[in-house]
Structure 1
Amino acid sequence: MTENLPATLPNPVSHAQQQHIVNIIRRAAKAEIMPRFRGLSASDIASKSRPDDLVTVADSAAEAMMTRALQIAFPHALVVGEEAVADAPDLLGKIADAPLAFIIDPIDGTWNFAHNLAVFGVILAVTQFGRPVFGVIYDPVADDWAISSNEGPPLLERAGGTSKPLRASMGKPLEALNGYIPLGLFKGEAKTKLATTLPTFAHTHPLRCSAHQYRMIAQGYVDFSITESLHPWDHAAGALICERAGAHVEMLDGGPYTAARQSGYLLVAPDRTTWNRLKKVFDFLLEYPSE
């Protein structure tokens, strides 16, 4: 469906609705996430696909609260939460055909959250037929959020009502780039070959948190990221916010990112020129189809 859409879509959520969405996120964080931070017991934490792929009672409770509120405010929308997909994987296949979908990561960086590290966030994206048109990346600790639509400027907004524009970094030589390469998400020979590229760059350590990685890129503090894990709750909002902040966001095999895409490599860079330089470094990954 996405390939037949016009280049620009009218945003399906008004400015007032966007602020309501932010309020839904903040209320859920204050009610279900922050009271549990640094207070979880062992029985509050479980593993999913891997021993380090964690879910906590805070994830489940926050997602349930946000889902209920969104279904009341947008009764005809598809709501896709990370934890809901764990129970009903077929939800992912509905994103491409949904004229209005909300994609929620209730706690991105759950490993950090579960280990008392204050590097986690809430991610929410609105999509039309898979294409991100509105995104929020909320930091419950600082009570601030990166936000953008496909029509408005990307901003970092704070609870007190202040805001500042977001702007990606300027392009620079490869050896001066700081980026995020989550080596642990890659597998087999692709992982081994990818490890040999790390000395090419100035710094490449990921934060185990897509929310803060995208916020850092959108603020111009970090230059690039590459990943093969295309869970839409991790990337849909960040891809939109970074693109609106001036970054070049494109799949390594060409073409725009959409939340309906479930495999491939997503490369984010400060500009097209730097993206092309990075593509030459990472092009070998295309020999290894991602899952």
Structure 2
Amino acid sequence: MIDRSAETALIELVREVAKAEILPRFRRLDATEIDTKSGPEDLVTAADLAAEAKLVEGIARIMPDAEVVGEEGVAADPSRLDLLSGSGCVVVVDPVDGTWNFARGLAVFGVILAVVEDGRTVFGLLYDPVFDDWFAARRGGGAWTGGAGRVDRPLTIDGTMPVSEASGYVPVNLYPEELRMAVSQATFRTGGARSLRCSCHEYRLLASGAVDYLISGLLKPWDHLAGALITREAGGFAAMMGGQPYRPFTTEGQLVAASSYPLWSGVSELFETALQSQMPASSTSS
């Protein structure tokens, strides 16, 4: 388990990199500084690349024995994801989560960092560069929120509302086209669902009690490892739909996070039923 001094150093590194490489480019990007990766909605900017490079350098100083798995590094070399299946320490970073928002001048973006040791997430950080504050958690040590000039405050959630009153985040557009209608219709049986296009802020709002659940079928480790840990340490529950643990190397399936286990169970059942209704009969029968 990393010690408190390393946690503090990582938080300070993220703050410094955001101040130097991300914020100066916000709403100042030239068209030549925005590119696409897997498709027109999957963007990368000069800020993503510069911030990840500085984070990699800083992590090497703070934790010289750790490997780094970054979103942009994996885009260049997908084999780096294999590091999450092995032993040892791996730091997972998303240098600008919510790049689509960032590139369009929307102040809904953040930096996500998670530390994985021997296949378990032991530290997670969700950082907001605009307000210079963060949500963080250590495995077995609780979750908290902090910020510049602020005293750390514990995070505690315990959702007691029925599914029909629970509001959350469901990125319907990320599902295959043939499943979108069923997923969308399922959201109408909850208290409402939307998407911020930013895992960092979606998990922050869940951990603060502002929303009650979130679902994702696109499992990139830099998007979810920190948020899932923070949810659990704050008193909520996060696992794969069906109950399997969510692990750093999990890449397929539906991840559900909620402010309590009973709510997680109800939301999972609702959306699992909706998804199964669209599956071919041969794949749903046993």
* TM-score interval for Structure 1 and Structure 2 normalised by the shorter chain: over 0.9
Residue 253 of structure 1 deviates from its aligned partner by 2.7
Q: Does 1:252 align with 2:241?
A: yes
User: What value does the CA root-mean-square deviation take over the aligned residues?
Assistant: 1.4
Q: Distance in 1 between matches of 2:151 and 2:39?
A: 40
**1:146 aligns to what SS in structure 2?**
strand
Give the aligned length: 278
Correspondence 1:74-223 to 2 at 5 A: 74-223=63-212
For 2:80, what is the secondary structure of its paired residue?
Answer: helix
Question: In 1, Cα distance between the equivalents of 2:184 and 2:209?
Answer: 25
Q: Is the 8 A contact 2:242 2:268 kept in 1?
A: no
Is the partner of 1:51 in helix, strand or coil?
coil
> Which letter does structure 2 place at the counterpart of 1:102?
V
The residue aligned with 1:8 is none
Counterpart pick for 2:263 among 270, 274, 277: 274
1:161 Cα deviation after fit: 3.4
Q: Could you tell me how far 1:130 is from its partner in structure 2?
A: 2.7
1:211-268 CA-to-partner distances (Å, cap 9, x unmatched) read 0000000001100001111100000000000110111111013221111111111001
Task: Give the whole-Å Cα distance in 2 for the aligned partners of 1:169 and 1:204.
Answer: 19
Secondary structure at 1:262's aligned position in 2? coil
Q: Deviations over 1:79-120 (max 9, x none)?
A: 000000000000111211032000000000001000001000
Indicate which of 47, 51, 64 corresponds to 1:62.
Answer: 51
Report the 3-state secondary structure (helix = DSSP H, G, I; strand = E; otherwise coil) of the residue aligned with 2:252. coil
What's the counterpart of residue 9 of structure 2? 20
Counterpart Cα distance in 1 of 2:152 and 2:15: 16
Aligned 8 A contact 2:100 2:197 in 1: yes
Query: 2:231 touches 2:258 (CA, 8 Å); kept in 1?
Result: no
Distance in structure 1 (CA, Å) of the matches to 2:268 and 2:123: 27
Any idea what SS the aligned residue of 2:20 has?
helix
- In the alignment, which residue of structure 2 is the partner of 1:3? none
Would the alpha carbon gap of residues 248 and 275 (structure 1) be closer, same or farther in structure 2, given more than 3 Å must change? same
Give distance in 1, aligned partners of 2:219 and 2:16. 28
Structure 2 gap ranges (5+): none
Q: 1:98 and 1:38 mapped to 2: Cα distance? A: 40
Could you list the per-position Cα deviations for residues 34-91 of structure 1 after superposition, in whole angstroms to 9, with x for gaps in the alignment?
A: 0111100111101111201110000000000010111122222110000000000001
Determine the C-alpha separation between the residues in 1 that align with 2:157 and 2:101: 25
The corresponding residue for 1:46 is 35
What is aligned with 2:25?
Answer: 36
TM-score, L = length of structure 1:
0.92
What is the rounded CA distance, in whole Å, between the counterparts of 2:25 and 2:127 in structure 1?
17
Deviation at 1:169, TM superposition (A): 4.3
Query: Does the 8 Å CA contact 2:157/2:236 hold for their aligned counterparts?
Result: yes
The residue identity in structure 2 corresponding to 1:94 is L
Partners of 1:145 and 1:158 within 8 A in 2: yes
Query: Partners of 2:158 and 2:176 in 1: how far apart?
Result: 30
Distance in 2, Cα, partners of 1:176 & 1:254: 22
Give 5+ residue unaligned stretches, structure 1: 1-10
SS in 1 for 2:145: strand
CA distance in 1, matches of 2:160, 2:41: 34
How far, CA to CA, are the matches of 1:170 and 1:69 in structure 2? 38
